[in-house]
Structure 1
Amino acid sequence: MSQDITDRPLEKGRKKLEKSSTKDNRSFDDERRLRDVNYLPPLRKAIPLGIQHVLAMFVSNAAVPLIIAGAAGLSGADTVFLVQMAMFVAGVATLVQTLGIGPLGARLPIVMGTSFGFVPVMIPIAASQGLPAVFGGALIGGLAMAVVGLFYKRLSVFFPPVVSGTFVLLIGILLLPVGFAYVGGGVGAADFGAPHHLLLAALVFFVTVAFHQFCRGFLSEAAVLIGILVGCAVAAPLGLLDFSKVSEASWFQLPIPFEVGLAFDPAAILAIALMALVTCAESIGDISGTAIGGAEREATDRELSGGVMADGLSSSFAALFGAFPQISFSQNVGLVALTGVASRFVVAIGGAFLVLAGLVPKLGAVVSAIPAAVLGGAVIIMFGMIASAGVKMLSRAAFNKRNMLIVGVSLAMAIGLPAQSGLYENAPQQIGVLLESGLIPGALASIVLNLILPKDPTEAVES
C-alpha cells in the first residue's frame, strides 16, 4: 500500500510530462503545417487571414491610379474607374499567381498589385502623351517580362542570391519612408504629423507587436488585422473614419476592356519596357523572400519562372482593362514572414476578395476609409520585415570582399542618388526619373557588378 502511495505522485508527474510533450508536439505540427504552401487552414481562420492581406495592400494598390489620374488630369468618374480596375486586376493576378494556370504562377502566397516602381516613368508619359500611351507601353513591357520568366533558367545567372537578396533589402529600406509617411497621416495631409496620427500609428504598432509576440495560434497569425481593427475602433469616435465615399460608390460594375484605349509610342514603350526588365529582379526577390520568410526554404526554378511569367502577363492583361503594371506586393511578403502563414490558399481567398471589391465598388470604398495612420502603424513593421528577409537571403551568399562590394555599391546608388537629385537634373528626363527611383540604379549596380567582378575560384557556386 505504501508503495502505491509513493508511486502515485511519480505517475502523475509522468503523465503531466507526457501531456506537456504532446501539447508541444501538436504546437510544432501546427506551425509546420502553416509553413506548408499547400495547406488550407480551417475557413474560420483562412478567411480573416486572407482579408488581412487585402487590408495590407488595398490603399497602396489604389494610390497608383490616383497619382496617375491626377497627372493625366482625369475626371472623378474616370479616376473611380481606374481604382476599380486596379482592384479587379490585382485580384485576378493574385489568383493566377497563387493557384496557377499551366506554367503560369509561382503557386506561393504572393499578393499581386499595382507597381509603384513604374510611377516615376508613367507620370511624364501620362501628362504629355495620355493614358493610352502608358497602357500601350505597359502591354509590351509585360510581354518582355514574361519572356524573362520563360527563359529564367538560362537567365538566372543575372539573379544569384547576392543580387536578389540585395534587391529585397533595398525594397524594404526604400519602402520605409513610405511607411512613415502613412504614420504622419499620409503624404499631402493638411495636418501631417499631428499628435492624433502619431498616437494612432503607435497604438497599432504596439498592438500588432504584442499580439504577434505574446499570443499563440490565430491571435498571433492575425496580429496585423487585429492591430488595424483596434486602430479603426479608436479612430471612429475621433471622426477620422470617412465613409462618405461609400454612399457615393455604386453597388455593382463590370470591368470594361479597352475603355481607355492603347497607343504604341516608341519612347513610352522603351521607358516602360526597360523598367519592366529591371522589375524582374524585384519579382524574383519577392518570390524568393516569400519562400524563405514563409515556407523557410529556397524558391525553386519552376516557382521563379512561373512567378515572373505571371507578373509579366498579368501586366499585359492589366493594360487591356485600364490598370497599371502588376507586381508582387512587398508588404505582403513581409506579412507572410511576420505571421508565419505560408498557405497559398489563404492569399487566394484575399485575391477573390479583391475581385469582389473590383465588381462591387462599395466594398472598396469601405476598406479605403481606413485612416492612413492606422495603416502606417502596421506597414512599418512589414517593411522592416522585408529588409530582414533580404538580410536572410544575403546570408546564403558568401560574405567575401566581392559580394560585400556588390551590396555596398548597390546600397550607395539606391539611397544616395535619390537624396541628391541635383546631380542629374540636367540629364534627359527619362534618365532622370529612372535614377530618381533609387531601386533601378541599385538593381542595375548589383546585376552589372555581379557579372563583371571576378569570382573567387575556391568559392562554392551560388545557387
Structure 2
Amino acid sequence: MAEPVTATAAPPVAPVDERLPLKRLVPLACQHLLAGVAAPVSSVILIATTLKLSTTQTASLLSATLVLCGVGALLQSLGVAVLRVGARLPFLMLPGGAAVAIFLQIAQEYGPATASGSVLVAAAFLLCVLPFYGRLVRLFPPLVMGTTVVLIGINMIKVTAPMVASGPGLGFATLGVIAVFFLVLRGVWRQMAVLLGLVCGTVIAALMGTDIEVAHGGTFALPDPFPYGAPHFDLLAAIPLLVFALASLAEATGQTVLNSEAVGRTPDAGRDVPRIARADALVSLASGLFGTSLMVTSAENIGIVQLTRVRSRFVTAAAGVLLIVCGLITPLTRVLAAIPEPVVGAAGLVIYAVIAVMGFGMLSRTDLSHGTDSVVIALALVIGMLPIVAPEMYAGLPTWARTLFGSGVAAGAIAAVVLSAVFRTLGPRITPAKPDAPGAPPSDGSP
C-alpha cells in the first residue's frame, strides 16, 4: 500500500519580501511618500529660484524630478537581478542636498548646461569606478566626509541668503513657521516641516499681497528634456560632482548597513552597495538629461519602517508609483512652482544649515585627541573656506587652476582626501592607550 503524500510547508517569507494586501499597502506607501516628497520639492524650487526659471520650466523640472524619484524607488525596492541593479531593500531615491548644492554652484559659475553635463559625467564616472568600490571607499573616512559636507552647507548658505534678503520680512516669517513645525510636530509629520513651511510661507505671501503667478496647462503632461539646451561637458567644472560621486559610495555603505539591520537582513555591503550605486548612476544619467542634479538613495524613510514595524520593500515600491503619479499631475507641480523667492530662500537656509550640522556630526566621530586628524580638518577647512570668504584670491590664476581651487567644495574635499592619506601614511603611528591595570599607578605618572 502506497504511503500517503504529506505536504511540505512553504519556507517562511522574510519580512522584507512580504507582499501586503492593497488596503494596507496604500496607506503605508503614503507614509513613505510624505517622508520623501519634501526633498525633491524643496530642491527643485531652490534650483529654479536660483537659476531664475519660469514657472512653466519649474513645473516641468519638478515633474521630472518626482518621476525620477519614483523610478529610483522602484529600482531599489524591486531590483533588476540580471543587471545587478537595486538592493531589493525599502529605499527611496531623492535628489541629495549636497548634490543639489554642487549642481547650483556649477550652474552659477559655468551655466546650467554645463551643470547638466557635469551630472552626466559624474553618473558615468560612478558606473566606471564601481569595480574598485572596496579600495575607493577607504578614501572617504568620516574625517573627509564631514569636512566636505560642512563646506557644502556653508557654501550654499552664502547662495541662499540673498533670496531671503529679497523679502526679509517674508523670509524670516517662513523661518519662524518652519521652526515652530519642527518644535510641535512628531513622527513623519516632523519630516514634512520644511515642506509645510513652504506652503505656509506662500499663504503668508498671498495675505501680504505678493503677486503669485501660477502657470496654465493641461492636467497631465510628460516633463521636457534638455531644459537648458544641449548639455555642455567640462571635466574641470565637473570635479566637485566627481568627488561627490565617490563620496556617495561611503554614504551608501552606512545606509546599507542601517537599512539591512532595520529589516532584519544580514548586511552585505560588498554585494548591495554596488547595486545601490548602479541604480543611482542610471537614474542620475536620466536626471542630467532632464536638468536636475544627481539622484542618491536615501535612508530617511527608515524611521517609518521602525515606527510601523512593516519591513516590506513592496511598500516603498508602491511609494515610487505614487511619486510617478504626482510628477505627472501638472496642476500640482505648477502650484508648487509658484512659491515666492524669499520663502524658498528661508527653506534653503534651513536645509543647508542642517547639512552643515550633519557634517559636524560626522567630524564628531573622528578621534581628535592626538591632534593629527584635527590638523587635517583645519587645513582642509582653510583651503575650502578661502574661495568662499575671499574669492578674489584666485582671480589671477589660470582658468584650470581657478576652476579647481576656486570651488570651495572641490578644493576642500580634495585637500581632505590627500591630507588624510598623507598623514595616515607618513605621519606618526597612533596607538590607542591601554587602560591601567587594577591597582597599578596611573600611566601618566601622577600619584
2:79–2:86 CA contact under 8 A, matched in 1:
yes
What code does the residue aligned with 1:60 have? S
Report the Cα offset of residue 157 of structure 1.
2.3
Q: What residue is the counterpart of 1:117 in the other structure?
A: 102
Q: Would you tell me which structure has more helix in proportion to its own residues? A: 1
Give, in whole Å, the separation in 2 of the partners of 1:364 and 1:289.
33
Out of 175, 184, 192, the position equivalent to 1:201 is 175
Report the Cα offset of residue 402 of structure 1.
1.9
Cα distance, 1:423–1:333 mapped onto 2, change above 3 Å: farther
Report the Cα offset of residue 162 of structure 1.
2.0
Give, in whole Å, the separation in 1 of the partners of 2:193 and 2:108.
36
Note the aligned Cα RMSD (angstroms). 4.5
Give, in whole Å, the separation in 2 of the partners of 1:381 and 1:156.
29
Out of 411, 416, 428, the position equivalent to 2:386 is 416
Cα distance, 1:260–1:64 mapped onto 2, change above 3 Å: closer
Cα distance, 1:210–1:353 mapped onto 2, change above 3 Å: same
Q: What residue is the counterpart of 1:443 in the other structure?
A: 413
* TM-score of the two chains, using structure 1 as the length reference: 0.68
2:49–2:341 CA contact under 8 A, matched in 1:
no
* TM-score of the two chains, using structure 2 as the length reference: 0.70
Cα distance, 1:97–1:63 mapped onto 2, change above 3 Å: farther
Aligned-partner SS, 2:64: helix
Give, in whole Å, the separation in 1 of the partners of 2:258 and 2:344.
22
Q: What residue is the counterpart of 1:23 in the other structure?
A: none
Report the Cα offset of residue 310 of structure 1.
3.1
Q: What residue is the counterpart of 1:20 in the other structure?
A: none
Within a 5 Å distance, the mapping from 1:32-431 to structure 2 comes to 43-44=26-27, 46-64=29-47, 81=60, 84-97=63-76, 100-102=79-81, 103-105=84-86, 107=89, 108-112=91-95, 115-122=100-107, 126=111, 131=113, 138-178=119-159, 180=161, 184=164, 189=166, 192-194=167-169, 196-212=170-186, 217=187, 220=190, 222-224=192-194, 227-228=197-198, 230-231=200-201, 234-240=204-210, 242=212, 244-246=213-215, 248-255=216-223, 268-284=233-249, 286-287=251-252, 300-319=269-288, 321-328=289-296, 351-374=320-343, 380-399=349-368, 400-431=370-401
Identity %: 25
Give, in whole Å, the separation in 2 of the partners of 1:236 and 1:259.
29
2:287–2:295 CA contact under 8 A, matched in 1:
no
Give, in whole Å, the separation in 1 of the partners of 2:189 and 2:62.
32
What code does the residue aligned with 2:383 have? M
Give, in whole Å, the separation in 1 of the partners of 2:307 and 2:148.
23
Cα distance, 1:203–1:427 mapped onto 2, change above 3 Å: same
Cα distance, 1:445–1:76 mapped onto 2, change above 3 Å: same
Report the Cα offset of residue 163 of structure 1.
1.6
Q: Provide structure 2 residue ranges, at least 5 long, that are not aligned to the other structure.
A: 1-14, 433-447
Q: Provide structure 1 residue ranges, at least 5 long, that are not aligned to the other structure.
A: 1-35
1:53–1:347 CA contact under 8 A, matched in 2:
no
Cα distance, 1:89–1:67 mapped onto 2, change above 3 Å: farther
Give, in whole Å, the separation in 2 of the partners of 1:122 and 1:83.
17
Number of aligned residue pairs: 398
Cα distance, 1:79–1:255 mapped onto 2, change above 3 Å: closer
What code does the residue aligned with 2:367 have? A
1:37–1:109 CA contact under 8 A, matched in 2:
no
